[in-house]
Amino acid sequence: MAETARAFEFVEDEDRALEEARAALLAESKRIVEALLFASPDPLDESLLAERLPDGADLDATLAALREDYATRGVNLARAGAKWYFRTADDLGWLLRREETPQKKLTRAAIETLAIVAYHQPVTRAEIEDIRGVAISKGTLDVLLETGWIRLRGRRKAPGRPITYGTTDRFLVHFGLEQISDLPGLEELKGAGLFDGRLPPGFGIPKPDDGEALTADEDPLDADDSAEDFPLLAQVDDAEDEQAASSNEQSAEAAE
């Protein structure tokens, strides 16, 4: 009996030690992810976070635990696609309104174009015009590119090789979506009173897909597409590069 009791105690000690090791690994993983997200001005991809974690760490469990920790705090852990970031809790957003920069309202044409890109991506300008039933100006696409909500995806494998458009992670962040499939479907739009028209038989809202991989009918972009065809987009890219460089310089000075 004594030997059996000692055997049980040994097993219990082993289980306790294993559980403590797992808890310690989870705690350290949470600290690492927390530090990375707070230090980054932009959402971070899960692959980057996974690279920084200790061997044996479970990224999904770490993010779930960290998200639960921040669920009732002033900032919450949020996801946009495969990227994660901290944002102000929804009920405290009013505290920062005085610091917000007034935003220029989008035109109806820009809103409709953005909706078409979101639901029909990858989509070309001609396809957008066909869906809307009217032509759109190049300036409309420039404005949406400048906001960072849409991006150039590739070129359609068709005569003229038109550029295809899709949404970005910034689009998800701005509209509070975790993934593009969270966009409302037809029944949700009707329920919210945003659509009360009659659709032709067999017509429905397509399933949106913002995957990074090009589709079978897309070719990669040419090297000079951004700068030559979309000067506003090039300016945005340059500004982001300068901001990133400035942030890196400040981090280096702080480290010194």
Which domains are assigned to the chain? 2-95 (1.10.10.10), 108-245 (1.10.10.10)
pTM score of the predicted model: 0.62
Residue range 166-183, pLDDT digits in tens: 999 999 998 888 899 888
Provide mean pLDDT across the span 118-128: 91
Q: Which amino acid is at 171?
A: F
Burial class (CB in 10 A: 0-12, 13-18, 19+), 87: middle
pLDDT at 235: 46
User: Among 63-67, 75-79, 150-154, 202-206, which is the least confidently predicted range?
Assistant: 202-206
Whose CA is closest to 117, among 146, 150, 155? 150
Q: Tell me the percentage of the chain whose pLDDT exceeds 90.
A: 37
More confident residue, 67 or 225: 67
How, if at all, do strands 123-124 and 163-167 pair?
antiparallel
Question: Per the structure block, which two tokens stand in for 163?
Answer: 């550029």
